[in-house]
Amino acid sequence: MSLKSYSRARAVHVMLVYTGGCNGCDIEIVNSIFSPKYDAEQYKIFLTWNPREADVLVVTGPVTKHNEKPLKAIYDAIPEPKAVIAAGACALMGGVYKNIHGDIPSEEIAGPVDKIIPVAAKVPGCAVRPEDVLAGAVAALPLLLEAK
């Protein structure tokens, strides 16, 4: 492993963006970072709230109309290399909010996430479990390590 990949694997800065889910995933992700039981820092994952510092963007929620532009702006602010993790059923496919009655799309939802920004890893679950979030962050790592 080159020094570049090694250093990238040893310090991963994660930023969270909530785009209008139900709070469930959001709190589980905060839990996975703040709770001493899961303690993301032991896996070298650090929480940040500044896009300029972040490597990995964790997105939850179905991306409502008002959140579409902020999400894009935050994604653009992250310097390369970067990876996006979509966490939770809503971020993956819009969840229960995407359609009203069969397949009539809801006009409130602009998502799911991969319609707006490229997604590297998808973490399923409603709500995601903290373990799965950490696994998702690890799954997105190769993309970061191999980037130039």
Partner 1 sequence: MEASTIIYSTAAVIGTIIVAFIVSLWLPGIERKFVHARIQQRIGPPISSPGFMAPLKFFFKETITPNSPVPRLYNALPLVAILSIFFILLFLIPQMYFLGALASVIAIVGLLKVEEVIYVFMGSLSQSVMSLSMPFPDVVKGAKHQKVTRSFLENLSSLRAFRLIAFGSFPLYLAIFVPVAMAGSVFLGDIVSYQQIHGPILFTVAGAIGAIVFFMGYMILLNEYPFAILKTKADVIEGPYMEYAAKYRAYNYIARGFLMFALGALFSVLFLGIPPNLFSVGILVNIVVALLFPIFMAVMSAFSPIFTNKQFYPVVTGLSLLGVLAIIAAFI
Partner 2 sequence: MDEDKKSSRPGVIETEITMGPVHSAAIEPYRVRLFVEDEIVKDAEITVGVNHRGIERIMEGLPVEKANSLTEKICGICSNSHIWNSVLVAEKGLGIEVPERAAYIRVIMEELERLHSHLLYLAHGNEVLGHETFAMRLFYIRETVMELLRMIGGNRVQYGVSIIGGVRPRCELDEMRIQKIIQGMDYLEEKIADFADRFVSDPMVISRITGTCPIPKKEALRLAVSGPTLRATGVELDLRRDMKEYDPFEFDVITQEGGDVKANLLMRVLESFESIKIIRQAIKDLPKGPITDRSWEMQDTDVIKSYIEVPRGRLYHSYRLEDGRVRGSIVRTPSMTNIGAMQYACIGHHITDAQLGIVQCDPCFTCTDRAIQIIKL
Binding site for partner 1 (CB under 8 A): 3-4, 6-8, 10-11, 13, 36, 39, 41-42, 44, 46, 48-53, 55, 66, 69-70, 72-74, 77, 79-81
Identify what 52 binds: partner 1, partner 2, none; CB under 5 to 8 Å per kind. Answer: partner 1
SS3 per-residue string spanning the chain: CCHHHHHHHHCEEEEEEECCCCCHHHHHHHHHHHCCCCCHHHHCEEEECCCCCCCEEEEECCCEHHHHHHHHHHHHHCCCCCEEEEECHHHHHCHHHCEECCCEECCCECCCHHHCCCCCEEECCCCCCHHHHHHHHHHHHHHHHHCC
- Spell out, one character per residue from 43 to 82, where the chain touches partner 2: x when CB under 8 A holds, - when not: ------x-----------xx-x-xx--x---x--------
> What does the alpha-carbon distance between residue 20 and residue 7 come to, in Å, rounded to a whole number?
34
**Minimum CB–partner distance for residue 144 and partner 2 (Å):** 21
User: Is 4 or 73 the residue whose CB approaches partner 2 more closely?
Assistant: 73
Q: Does 24 bind partner 2 (CB under 8 A)?
A: yes
User: Is 24 or 81 the residue whose CB approaches partner 2 more closely?
Assistant: 24
Encode 102-126: b = buried (16+ Cβ within 10 Å), e = exposed: eeeeeeebbbbbbebbebbbbbebe
Q: Does 11 bind partner 2 (CB under 8 A)?
A: no
Identify what 81 binds: partner 2, partner 1, none; CB under 5 to 8 Å per kind. Answer: partner 1
User: Is 10 or 101 the residue whose CB approaches partner 1 more closely?
Assistant: 10
Identify what 46 binds: partner 2, partner 1, none; CB under 5 to 8 Å per kind. Answer: partner 1
Q: Does 13 bind partner 2 (CB under 8 A)?
A: no
